[in-house]
Amino acid sequence: MQLTLLGTGTAVPSLIRSSSAYLVQVEGKNILIDCGAGTIRRLLEAGISYQDIDLILLTHRHPDHIADIAALLFACRYHAAPRRRDLAMVGAAGTREFFRQLNEAFGGHLISPHFDVTVHEVGEESWSWQGLRLAAAPVRHTAHSLAYRMEFDGSSIAFSGDSDDCPELVRLADKADVFVCECALPDGQKAPGHLTPTLVGRVAAEADVDTLVLSHFYPEVEQAPIESQVRKNYAGKLILGTDLLRIG
Ligand SMILES: [Zn+2]
Ligand SMILES: [Zn+2]
């Protein structure tokens, strides 16, 4: 199971940090977790075509996590090389209606006659997909925000999405080999629905994860001593994420 950080940034445009997106490659399958602005370009930079994505897990419907969905679907209609593989998407309650409205806003041009897009809505549950064990848990951010976990062959990766400190997140990340967690704002500038380095360290310590990967850095947190603040609570392996970093 290989993880590529495609976008470690936020809603704030940045040349070095694209909006939120991660790629997991396992058993020949390509899975996206979020699809913020710039994701398609980062995929190309990582050597993966937008045509090769099999499954997209959406953590929530803020534009910095979902804005490239329309661009990706429209690109798949390109007449010279139309996509023919079906695509599955997973999101929280309301995702199906969101896509219906998104497609309608684009005059129906996001849907192709050559492949099906299926949308599955999930809550707190686990399920199997192509031999992979997937789990979702609602977390504190918007009314419909999810964290995800995937397990394959004894390894596990968990993704916080955007989340505040909450027991659901700790449970979902429990003993994960890799935990990709948002670290949006610095200590002292915490906003509701987001984490700070000290809080991320506490969540990772409580979940007892093997490797903590930090992401979703707003410009303010880049000025902070992130590592020392995380280390107040967490002693495990720590990676400060950068775009296109590969792990595993
Ligand atoms: Zn965000
Ligand atoms: Zn958000």
Q: What spacing in Å lies between the alpha carbon of 66 and ligand 1's midpoint? A: 10
Residues 9-33: what's their mean pLDDT?
Answer: 97
User: Alpha-carbon distance 59 to 2, whole Å?
Assistant: 20
Q: Which ligand is nearest to the CA of 145?
A: 2
Q: What spacing in Å lies between the alpha carbon of 65 and ligand 1's midpoint? A: 6
Q: Which ligand is nearest to the CA of 8?
A: 1
Question: Residue 205 — very low, low, confident or very high, per pLDDT cuts 50/70/90?
Answer: very high
Q: What spacing in Å lies between the alpha carbon of 37 and ligand 2's midpoint? A: 13
Q: What spacing in Å lies between the alpha carbon of 206 and ligand 1's midpoint? A: 23
Question: Residue 81 — very low, low, confident or very high, per pLDDT cuts 50/70/90?
Answer: confident
On the question of pLDDT at 78 being above 90, the answer is no
Record the tokens describing residue 78, joined without a space: 């390109």
Q: What spacing in Å lies between the alpha carbon of 154 and ligand 2's midpoint? A: 30
Task: Specify the pLDDT at position 82.
Answer: 85
DSSP string, 187-247: TT---TT---HHHHHHHHHHHT-SEEEEE---HHHHTS-HHHHHTTT--SEEEE--TT-EE
Residues 117-135 have pLDDT tens digits of: 999 999 999 999 999 999 9
Residues 131-179 have pLDDT tens digits of: 999 999 999 999 999 999 999 999 999 999 999 999 999 999 999 999 9
Q: Which ligand is nearest to the CA of 7?
A: 1
User: Alpha-carbon distance 88 to 114, whole Å?
Assistant: 14
Task: Specify the pLDDT at position 108.
Answer: 96
Q: Which ligand is nearest to the CA of 36?
A: 1
Q: What spacing in Å lies between the alpha carbon of 60 and ligand 2's midpoint? A: 7
Q: What spacing in Å lies between the alpha carbon of 162 and ligand 1's midpoint? A: 6
Q: What spacing in Å lies between the alpha carbon of 72 and ligand 1's midpoint? A: 19
Q: What spacing in Å lies between the alpha carbon of 141 and ligand 2's midpoint? A: 7
Question: Residue 80 — very low, low, confident or very high, per pLDDT cuts 50/70/90?
Answer: confident
Q: What spacing in Å lies between the alpha carbon of 96 and ligand 1's midpoint? A: 20
Record the tokens describing residue 165, joined without a space: 């400190």
Q: What spacing in Å lies between the alpha carbon of 61 and ligand 1's midpoint? A: 9
Q: Which ligand is nearest to the CA of 182?
A: 1
Q: What spacing in Å lies between the alpha carbon of 138 and ligand 2's midpoint? A: 13
Q: What residues are paired with 51 via a beta bridge?
A: none
User: Alpha-carbon distance 219 to 51, whole Å?
Assistant: 32
Task: Specify the pLDDT at position 79.
Answer: 82
Q: Which ligand is nearest to the CA of 12?
A: 1
Q: What percent of the chain has pLDDT over 70?
A: 100
